[in-house]
Amino acid sequence: GSISLKVLHELKPLFAETIAQKGELAGLKEARRDLLLPGWCVLTALMEAYKVEALRFSATALREGMLDFMVKNEKTLDAMLQSDLPGVRIAKH
């Protein structure tokens, strides 16, 4: 999916109201509710500063995306397996 800067601006009142009234948004954990506006501020500021009109996002997790990438790009996987960078550990099967 994707989200445009215009839509982000349209969502700000909903986020503000949700926080003010301690309301709920489907799929949002209560502990994360107070992060809506700060996250919105950072995201919109970056998009405006870098003139980004829209962002694409994944409906799946980062790990799933990495696994998909690695399977489709065997050369990259081979290079990662041979890496001697500190902190890079990939289990060989």
Tens of pLDDT, residue by residue over 56-91, are 887 777 777 777 777 777 666 666 666 665 555 555
Domain of residue 6: give its range.
Answer: 2-56
Two structure tokens written together for 53: 């009109």
Q: 48 and 71 in one domain?
A: no
Handedness of CA 9, 15, 16, 17 (dihedral sign): positive
Same domain, 76 and 45: no
Do 25 and 18 meet the contact criterion of CB atoms below 8 Å apart? yes
Say yes or no: 78 and 47 in one domain.
no
Number of other CB atoms surrounding residue 20 within 10 Å: 9
The more confidently predicted of residues 70 and 37 is 37
Q: Are residues 75 and 32 in the same domain?
A: no
Q: Does 45 share its domain with 8?
A: yes
Q: What is the pLDDT of residue 76?
A: 65
* 36 in the same domain as 9: yes
Predicted local distance difference test score (pLDDT) of residue 41:
92
